[in-house]
Amino acid sequence: MTAVLQRPTRRAISDLPGPRGVPGAGNALQLRNTRLHLTLEHWARRHGPVFRFAIGPMPVVAFAEPDAINEILRERPEGYRRWREVEDVFREVGIHGVFSAEGGEWRTQRRLAVMALNTNHLHRYFDVIRVATERLRGRLDAAARSGESFELQRAYMAFTTDVASALAFGQDLNTVEHESELQGHIERVFPMLSRRINAPFPYWRYVKPPADRAAERSLVEVRRAVEGFIAAARARMERRPELYAQPENFLESMLAAQREGRYSDEEVFGNTFQMLLAGEDTTAHSLSWASYFIARDPALQRRLAAAAPVIEDPETTFEYGDAVLRETMRLKSVAPLIFVEPLEDVTVAGVDLPRGTRVIALTRYAGAHGAATFDPERERDQKRFLTFGAGARFCPGRNLALLEARTALAMLTRHFEITLDPAAPPVRERFGFTMQPTGLRVHVRARS
């Protein structure tokens, strides 16, 4: 049964229930980055929908109830910002952009991101999605012919890398057919950001664990590649000045705005990189989780196969596929936590939060708690569906993500049957800024 938030009296943070910590470290020793969301959700079950804990000396308040979470997220940007650690860490590694920006800076960058991801522009990206989907089909065909265990998750990452890079820089990387180093490099960056944002102190300034060193090397490589794409886009725009008035991808939009003096080189770089990061993992992991559910359920696959259209344009509908995707995103939300802090003293759900209190919204828990079984036909309550966030900072890539996922899912279920590889380790959840399956290996058969 859903826990009901009690709001009889005002409470201070110190009045809240929560796990016992140790002096100095707080609860830091109980928190493993790769399981962060699972530990917090476990605490929510034990301590209720609002609880406190501490990362080192820093108190953190967690909200796990949809009304409070909606109230908090919808008060942005005036009432709350993302954790200041988010901005600090992104700035320090040199990929600061719309996701990590605040105030006026956020407003200008957000406008451009929304414009680039506007539904009208999805038509332009759709050709890229269609080509990438055909290539993905080629890989699945090869897997079906070989009969060998197939790393579906890796194939989805290549698929979304190709779409995101076309959107971000107008480059067809074709990593689906030719795995590129770039994909591996990008994958190392997110977990490092997550480790640093949630660290009790900036450990990397004293000792860099091997994973951080590898991620920093990867970052250099991605930076080099992105700088190459920026130089190519500049040259292209010199040759075709009409692109300044009608840019064809996110990078060109930023370069056009830069000519009017609105963005520095750092901002162009940071935002383009963030677009690539934001578009890649999230959509690939969501597709992987959807495939995980369907691989375990032949009847569900048959039903999807019967309903799946040939997707020829972005307007094509696939209602049952959408229902499966939304139910997947509710239960296996790839963004299960949102990190914010109030800009002034506030009271939320009867709890007094001084300005700057670190708050974590347990968005997956709020949507899944009390309705934990996978049922695409369930009525989903919009207020609880927080996978893309809420309020002015909700995900601007939502429609693109759904279009990509819908197109890939229709192709998969029309042409193939998949089953989980029984020899592979069980699939578990791993957190690292986004939440992904630990490895999805399947057997693929062509559908007769």
Judged by CB under 6 A, the residue of 51, 63, 99, 431 near ligand HEM is: 99
Closest alpha carbon to 311 in 323, 296, 322: 322
CA angle 353, 359, 362 (to 5 degrees): 130
Other residues' Cβ atoms within 10 Å of the Cβ of residue 239:
8
Could you tell me the CA-to-CA distances from 220 to 95, 196, 217, 237 in Å, in that order?
A: 11, 18, 5, 26
Pick from 47, 108, 394, 419 the residue near ligand HEM by CB under 6 A: 394
* Binds ligand HEM by CB under 6 A, chosen from 143, 278, 331, 359: 278
- Choose, by CB under 6 A, the member of 393, 406, 430, 441 that binds ligand HEM: 393
Separation between Cα atoms, residue 395 and residue 113, nearest integer Å: 10
Among 288, 301, 387, 436, binds ligand HEM (CB under 6 A): 387
Contact 447, 305 (CB under 8 A): yes
Does residue 400 touch ligand HEM according to CB under 6 A?
yes
- 70 binds ligand HEM per the rule CB under 6 A: no
Q: Which of 66, 279, 321, 367 binds ligand HEM (CB under 6 A)?
A: 279
> How far apart are the C-alpha atoms of 101 and 299, rounded to whole Å?
45
Name residues contacting ligand HEM, limited to 159-178 (CB under 6 A). 164, 167
Q: Which two tokens stand for residue 103?
A: 């105030």
Query: One symbol per residue from 336 to 355: x for binding ligand HEM (CB under 6 A), - otherwise; what is it?
Result: --x-----------------
Give the whole-angstrom CA distance, residue 109 versus residue 98. 5
Q: Is 388 in the site for ligand HEM (CB under 6 A)?
A: yes
Which of 236, 278, 237 shows the shortest CA–CA distance to 116? 278
Q: Which span (29-37, 216-224, 231-239, 381-389) binds ligand HEM, by CB under 6 A?
A: 381-389
Task: Indicate the residue among 135 and 285 with the shorter CB distance to ligand HEM.
Answer: 285
115-134 residues near ligand HEM, rule: CB under 6 A: 117
Near ligand HEM by CB under 6 A, which window of 55-63, 147-155, 346-354, 389-397? Answer: 389-397
Rounded least distance, CB 114 to ligand HEM, Å: 8
* 317/303 Cα distance (integer angstroms): 15
Q: Which of 305, 314, 327, 281 is nearest to 411 (CA)?
A: 305
* Cα 151 → chain centroid: 20
Phi and psi at 377, nearest 5°, equal -85, 0
Q: Return the number of the residue (195 or 364) whose C-beta is nearest ligand HEM.
A: 364
Q: Does 301 bind ligand HEM (CB under 6 A)?
A: no
The C-alpha atoms of residue 173 and residue 153 are separated, in whole angstroms, by 18
For position 254 contacting ligand HEM by CB under 6 A, the verdict is no
Chain residues binding ligand HEM by CB under 6 A are 73, 98-99, 110, 113, 117, 164, 167, 275, 278-279, 282-283, 286, 334-335, 338, 387-390, 393-397, 400-401
